Amino acid sequence: MTVEPSTGRGSAPPAEFIGPSRIMTTLRVNGHDHFTVLEPRTSLLDALREHLHLTGTKKGCDQGGCGACTVWIDNRRVLACLTLALAAEGREVTTIEGVADGDELHPVQQAFLAADGFQCGYCTPGQIMSAIKCVEEGHAGSESEIAEWMSGNICRCAAYQNIREAVCGGRDAMARKDGELP
Ligand code: FES
Ligand code: FES
C-alpha cells in the first residue's frame, strides 16, 4: 500500500511558533527612555550600538574576555556583550556617553587625557567605565590594586602604565571634588 505524504489538512495544528519574534521594549539609558523593538537574543551591547546608535561602547571580543563593552547597570559595572538587552529593561543603564556633566568631562575622563592613558583608544570607554567604579568601590588604593581590579579590561596597545596613572589621577580628582582631599 502506498502512503501519501500528509498535506496537513485534517491533521493536528502546527506547534505554536515561539521565536525569535521581536519584542517591544523600553531601555532607560543615560537618563532617557528609548523605545525599541528587539529580538529576544539581542545583547545589550548590540542594542546600544545597533538600535540606539550609542557607539561609544565598543565591541572587542563579544564573548566576555576584553572589557571593551563595560557599562553600568544600576550603578554596577557589567559586560554588555554578556547581558541580554531584555534583562536591562526597567533598570538604569549608563554608557560612556552618560558620564560627563554636560560639557564638563568626568574627572576620570580628564585624568585619562592628562596621563595619556590610551594609544588607539578602542579600549578606553570600557577602561573609563570600569575605572570610575574601581575608584567608587574602594579598589584604587595602589597601582597594584588597580591592576587587579581592572584586570578584566584588556588594552591591546598595552598602555597599562598610563592607564593606571590615569586611574590614580582620577581617584584623587574625585576625592578633591567630594572635598575629601585639599
Ligand atoms: S566585547 Fe564584551 S568583553 Fe569583549
Ligand atoms: S589604547 Fe589601544 S587597545 Fe587600549
What confidence tens digit (pLDDT) does each residue in 108-132 have? 999 999 999 999 999 999 999 999 9
Residue 155 grid coordinates: 588594552
d(CA 21, CA 7): 26
Q: Is residue 73 left, alpha or beta, with left meaning phi > 0 and alpha meaning psi from -120 to 50?
A: beta
Cα separation, 86 vs 95, in Å, equals 16
Ligand nearest to the CA of 159: 2
Mean pLDDT of the chain: 92
Of 76, 77, 48, 46, the residue nearest 62 (C-alpha):
46
Q: Which atom of ligand 1 is nearest to the CA of 82?
A: 2
- Nearest CA to 73 out of 48, 102, 36, 103 is that of 48
Amino acid at 44: L
Q: How far apart are CA 97 and CA 30, in angstroms?
A: 7
User: Mutual orientation of helices 124-136 and 160-177 as an angle, nearest 10°?
Assistant: 50
* Global confidence as pTM: 0.89
Q: For ligand 2, is residue 156 a contact (CB within 6 Å)?
A: yes
Find out whether 69 and 81 touch, Cβ atoms under 8 Å.
yes
CA of 101 to the centre of ligand 2 (A): 25
Q: What is the pLDDT of residues 41-57, one digit of tens each?
A: 999 999 999 999 999 99
